[in-house]
Every structure is written in C-alpha cells, then in structure tokens.
Amino acid sequence: PELKEVDLKPEIIPLDIVYEDADIVVVNKPRGMVVHPAAGNWDGTLVNALMYHCGDSLSGINGEHRPGIVHRIDKDTSGLLMVAKNDVAHESLVNQLVEKTVTRRYVALVHGVIPHDNGTIDAPIGRDPKDRKKMAVVESGKHAVTHFKVLQRFKEFTLIECRLETGRTHQIRVHMAYIGHPLIGDPKYCNSKNKFNIEGQALHSLNLKIIHPRTKEEMTFTAPIPEDMENLLKYFRQTI
C-alpha cells in the first residue's frame, strides 16, 4: 500500500548503539521493534528513535518515512543494522550491498537435525501466490542465495550460522523452511507450535562487516546473542 501522509515524530526510545560517528550508526535492534513506519506501525519504530537520537543528521535518500535506513531486518529478528547519517554514506553502503562486499552473518535455531555441516540454498524468492502476506520460493521470484553452516546439533534442533549473499524479504526464514528446517518460533513459516519462551523467530543478526564510507577502513561489528535465544541454547545443551 502507498505510504499515507503522516507526521513522523522523534521519540525517546532507548537504543543500543554499537558504533557511531559523523557518517554512520550501527544499532543492535531488539526483537519486537519495527525498523521504519508503515501501515499498522506509525510510531515506536527504530526510525522514530533515530530521529530523536540523531536529529536532522540522517540521510534522505529513502524518503521522509525511512530517513537513514539502508537495509532492514524483520520486526522479530534482533541484531545489527547499519544507518546512514548523510547521503554520501548512504550511497556508499548501498553500493557495498549491491556489490556484495558487505558481510552479514546471522545465527538461527531451526527445527530438525541438519545432517550436513554446511550448504548453500540458491532458490528465487517472491510473493507466495497462496498468501500475499508471505514470501515463498517461486520460479518468478528474485535471485536469492543463503549460505549456512552447522554450529551445534541438539536432540531435535540445530544451531546454524547463515551468511546472506542477497537480501530478500524474509530470506533466511523462507529458505530454511524450504529445505525442511524452519526457524523456532517463526509465526509465518513454521507449522510447529511454539512451545518455547521466545516471541518471534529465533534469528539474530550477529556480525556485520563493512567498508567505512569516508575512511575506507574495513570495520567489523558484533552483537551478542539475545537472552531469550541464549536461554534456549542452555536448555538444549542440557538435554543433548
């Protein structure tokens, strides 16, 4: 739907700032926070918080509803997100995404025991023809590639690391469900009842590597796994 006219307001919302300078901000987004305003979520978003924290120092390339936003992660995915404070930085970060020089690593807990140590899922993603609110692997979809490796196996679950080569909507969630290993707690793509104390999918943006837009220095950031996922891991490790 078209973005309606809405007066976005800065909001005093605590932010976990991993790094900040005159050009970029790297934020550790909590699970449950929407990145930018859209239908059903016009306030309480990361953008509202950034507007208060940064004032007018956010890039305008993505329009007035998405100032500073270079890329997104889902509402119920936690972890690292890069934000541009000016248009030059924004263009640089977008170009790095296009040229695939940005490294984005996620950790996820999935259903089932994955037998092989690593793999690559190369399957196009587009709108699910049966449910327009979901994405799916479809022939007419956009090119999407996810690399994964197994970090630890449990009795009925697997801890994996995923590296994104492309950045499609819900990519990791769709790809893992496609190969029969949906994410724990995923409300859209997992048919198993969520019996664990976790809201949303067990997916965390752990690691981000970029080239700084101004200094051209390679920079790597890490955000610790959130407490609810850590508690799940402790429980699984006790029941191996």
Which residues participate in catalysis according to the annotation? 74
Rounded to whole angstroms, the Cα distance separating 78 from 59 reads 23
3-state secondary structure 136-148: EECCCCECCEEEE
Rounded to whole angstroms, the Cα distance separating 57 from 67 reads 9
Rounded to whole angstroms, the Cα distance separating 50 from 122 reads 35
Question: Does residue 82 contact residue 208 with C-beta atoms inside 8 Å?
Answer: yes
Residues with Cβ < 8 Å from 56, sequence gap 6 or more? none
The helix (H) or strand (E) run that includes residue 92 is helix 87-98
Question: Does residue 158 contact residue 149 with C-beta atoms inside 8 Å?
Answer: no
CA angle 201, 175, 233 (to 5 degrees): 40
Question: Does residue 122 contact residue 145 with C-beta atoms inside 8 Å?
Answer: yes
Among 20, 22, 78, 21, smallest CA distance to 46 is for 78
